[in-house]
A = this chain, B = another copy of it.
Amino acid sequence: MTVTETTGTGIRVEATTEARTDSCAGPPRADRRPDGEDLYTISEVAAFTGLTTHTLRWYERIGLMPHVDRSHTGQRRYRNRDLDWLDLVGKLRLTGMPVADMVRYAELVREGDHTYGERFELLKATREDVLARIAELQDTLAVLDRKIDFYADAGRALAWERTR
């Protein structure tokens, strides 16, 4: 069985062999076409995601993209679920997660439902990393603010100096 989330409305249980989806997307994005007529060329996807076509092909080569459909002539035709996946990858990339770890997650998704536990653990560990990063950045922000205040004061002192 596959458990599939339907956006914001809880979960739905259905019988299918489709183990490819990550089963959990966000709200639909504005620039997309509705499911069913969602076939995007690689350059469209590049425009949506901000990645280059090079990077999109590279992601596929290293196993970070879960097999993209092809046209009858072999060109890539991305679908909405691929954009969802790339959104997630983009988010994870922002956390500083190494590509190898994202590939690991992609493998777990490909392997099917029995990896739910491992995915769960991986996400929880990532969550902790993100919290730690945020804390670090807030620490840095405090240092920065202290220095900024200092230079603002110094600027005023120098301006005062010039009036003498």
Q: Which residues of A contact B (CB under 8 A)?
A: 1, 3, 5, 10-11, 13, 22-24, 26, 88, 91-92, 94-95, 113, 116-117, 119-120, 123-124, 126-127, 130-131, 133-134, 136-141, 143-148, 150-155, 157-158, 161
Contacts and interface: CB of A to CB of B under 8 A. Distances in A.
B134 A148 contact: no
Nearest to A114: B158
A74 to B, nearest CB: 33
Given A146-B24, A148-B120, A95 B154 contact: no
A3 to B, nearest CB: 4
A150 B2 CA distance: 13
Given A157-B3, A161-B1, A137 B144 contact: no
A11 B120 contact: no
A134 to B, nearest CB: 5
